[in-house]
């Protein structure tokens, strides 16, 4: 919002606790800019405030000569925090991808869901801030000293969002590969189960036939009836196996 020489906007950043610097909670940062002053208000501690304070304490050429430089410092702290989180998530995706290719430590679906949720959170946060600065760019009443800074920050946010989208695309490919491998394992297990069922079906038919309590049952009076019935069942399974091989159902 632009009102005369004053500009007001609401940005968002990750909150922090007194003992935990990185949390997943998002808090609002309300900013008011005048020709000689920048005022900020927030309900909870934010990560960007700590980063900006450390930069000011270290010095290193960081000078604040007006609200434009102050806005650049504060938004730069927000983007630095988001970029650090994005690099960490990108490293997690690469580690999971290496584990999948290695085959010994495949990624757990829960870990991939956690990474996807955090990337989506970063993307939504950046989309909101990009919208704020794009509206300021299009506002004809925006003070001239702030125009260059607003344009630069909008481009920086767009570039950072592109990096987030790149990590999301890499994660999407990884999840597709994980799903493909899981489907292949399921199909392989179903195939083996089908083969075992086909091999056991004739033997089950033979044992069921000899298990009937009816008169005139063959081999009932002989001393080797059980052995003969077992051989018949094994032979039926063997014939079934040969037929499956001959018909091409037995893959190596």
Among 35, 52, 56, 26, CA closest to 129: 26
Q: Tell me the pLDDT of the chain averaged across its residues.
A: 83
Q: Is 224 a member of any domain?
A: no
- CA 34-161-15 angle, to 5 degrees, is 60
Q: Is 238 a member of any domain?
A: no
Residues 146 and 139: beta-carbon distance below 8 Å: no
Model confidence at 60, pLDDT cuts 50, 70, 90, reads low
Residues 6+ apart with CB under 8 A from 237: 199, 200, 202, 203
Q: What is the domain-level CATH number for residue 60?
A: 1.20.58.340
- CA 36-40-43 angle, to 5 degrees, is 170
pLDDT of residue 116: 92
Residues 6+ apart with CB under 8 A from 63: 69
C-beta neighbour count of 147 within 10 angstroms? 14
Per-residue pLDDT reduced to its tens digit, 214-250: 666 676 666 777 777 778 788 887 888 787 777 777 6
pLDDT of residue 35: 82
pLDDT of residue 121: 92
Q: Is 248 a member of any domain?
A: no
Which of 30-34, 85-89, 154-158, 231-235 has the lowest average pLDDT?
231-235
For 97-120, give one letter per residue: b (16+ CB within 10 A) or e: beebeeeeeebeeeebeebbebbe
pLDDT of residue 64: 75
Residues 24 and 121: beta-carbon distance below 8 Å: yes
Structure tokens at 41: 């208000």
Q: Is 211 a member of any domain?
A: no
pLDDT of residue 181: 83
Model confidence at 167, pLDDT cuts 50, 70, 90, reads very high
Q: Is 72 a member of any domain?
A: yes
Give how many domains the chain has, as a whole number: 1
Q: Is 108 a member of any domain?
A: yes
Q: Is 225 a member of any domain?
A: no
Q: Is 252 a member of any domain?
A: no
What percent of the chain shows pLDDT beyond 90? 18
For residue 177, the enclosing domain spans 2-185
- Where is pLDDT greater, at 89 or 182? 89
């Amino acid at each position: 919002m632009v009102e005369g020489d004053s500009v007001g906007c609401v940005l968002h950043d990750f909150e922090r606790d007194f003992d935990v610097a990185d949390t997943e909670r998002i808090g609002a940062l309300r900013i008011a800019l005048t020709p000689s002053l920048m005022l900020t208000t927030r309900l909870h501690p934010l990560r960007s405030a700590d980063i900006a304070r450390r930069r000011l304490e270290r010095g290193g050429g960081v000078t604040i000569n007006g609200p434009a430089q102050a806005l650049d410092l504060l938004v730069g702290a927000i983007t630095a925090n988001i970029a650090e989180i994005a690099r960490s998530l990108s490293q997690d995706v690469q580690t999971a991808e290496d584990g999948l290719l290695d085959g010994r430590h495949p990624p757990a679906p829960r870990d991939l869901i956690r990474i996807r949720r955090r990337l989506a959170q970063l993307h939504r946060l950046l989309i909101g801030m990009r919208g704020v600065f794009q509206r300021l760019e299009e506002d004809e009443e925006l003070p001239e000293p702030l125009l260059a800074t607003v344009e630069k920050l909008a481009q920086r946010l767009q570039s950072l969002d592109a990096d987030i989208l790149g990590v999301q695309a890499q994660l999407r490919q990884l999840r597709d590969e994980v799903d493909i491998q899981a489907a292949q394992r399921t199909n392989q297990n179903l195939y083996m189960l089908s083969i075992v069922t086909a091999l056991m079906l004739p033997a089950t038919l033979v044992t069921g036939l000899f298990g009937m309590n009816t008169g005139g049952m063959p081999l009932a009076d002989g001393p080797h009836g059980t052995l003969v019935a077992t051989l018949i069942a094994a032979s039926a399974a063997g014939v079934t196996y040969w037929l499956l091989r001959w018909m091409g159902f037995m893959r190596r």
